[in-house]
Amino acid sequence: MGYKKKTIILAVIAALIALVYIFYDLSGNIGYILPRRLMKVLAIILTASAIAFSTTVFMTITNNRILTPNILGLDSLYLLLQTFIIFIFGSRSLVMMSGSINYFLSIGVMVIFSLMLYRFLFKGENNNIYFLLLIGMILGTFFGSFTDFMQVLIDPNEFMVARDKMFASINNVNKDLVYLSLGLIVLVTLYFIRFYKYLDVLGLGKDHAINLGVPYDYVVKRLLIVVAILISIATALVGPITFLGLLVVNVAYEFLKTYRHFYLIVGSILISIIALLGGQFIVEEVFTFQTTISVIINFAGGIYFIYLLLKENKSW
């Protein structure tokens, strides 16, 4: 079966799961329940699309299917920002803060951090993408340690508020933020179209891409900005989901078996939607909200990550 037919099958499965999620056990006040479910489905689609889209581009840039954008430390920075607000102003300030203010503040901080990191690391000619990843890992560890330090010092009741920010949640997603995220993702996608034509060549590696006439540094810097913005949007909208990108993109590579990035991106997005919608359905109907979607995704993703490491180790 060709990758085109497989992509269509994924689209059908994603549509069926969305319909099941929307209409399953739809009773009671339908006028209240149905719009909420539709909004949650839209939030899931946007989050899944942003994570899968950015991870596919990032893996192509790094030419490595184990590395994800989370290695840049953006998730850790998001948790640091939320904990810092509680540490300085108290949990009431975070609760009373407008959702859009916290949303734009989170995106702004993460994007500015990424831009400063890129500008500093790509300033010299000898610096490359792997040095960027190393610095990102170090800063991510630093942000995580500083977050843990502040959480130890704050009041236990306020710690519970900070703890809620550590896990992705789609149950109380803000409708206005969903529409804002949709607009931002559309704008980023339109900007990305300029560089889409380079992805298939970038997948061959830096040396081959340069030899084939790709302005490598220029393209990679712009694509990294796209990746940073998409991950920032997804994280600010629902919270951090560490292993989702790693899981869905590798499954897309294994299932579609193609180098064509159009189908890889679309396939990754569809698999991501299936994973998030299916996971959220399990959270609501099986676990009755006793756990969160990020716990399920991270558990499955962690196991798959270990499998990938063992697989790569055998190939060496």
- E runs forming strands in the chain: none
pLDDT in tens, 182-235: 999 999 999 999 888 898 898 888 888 888 888 888 888 889 889 988 988 888
Structural domain total, the chain: 1
Give Cβ neighbours of residue 205 (< 8 Å, ≥ 6 apart): 63
Domain range for 294 is 3-315
Whole-angstrom distance, CA of residue 72 vs CA of residue 133: 6
The answer, as to whether pTM is greater than 0.85, is yes
**How many CB atoms are closer than 10 A to CB 187?**
11
**Residue range 71-130, pLDDT digits in tens:** 778 888 888 888 888 888 776 666 556 667 878 888 888 888 888 877 776 665 555 677
Over residues 142-153, the pLDDT tens digits come to: 888 988 888 888
Residue 166 maps to which CATH number? Answer: 1.10.3470.10
Distance in angstroms (rounded) separating the CA atoms of residues 71 and 133: 7
List all residues 6 or more positions away from 172 whose beta carbon is below 8 Å from its beta carbon: none
* 244-300 pLDDT per residue, tens: 888 899 889 888 888 888 899 999 999 999 998 888 888 888 877 777 777 788 777
Distance of CA 33 to the CA centre of its chain: 27
- Rounded Cα–Cα distance for residues 95 and 120 (Å): 35
Q: Checking phi first, is residue 90 left (phi over 0); if not, alpha (psi -120 to 50) or beta? A: left
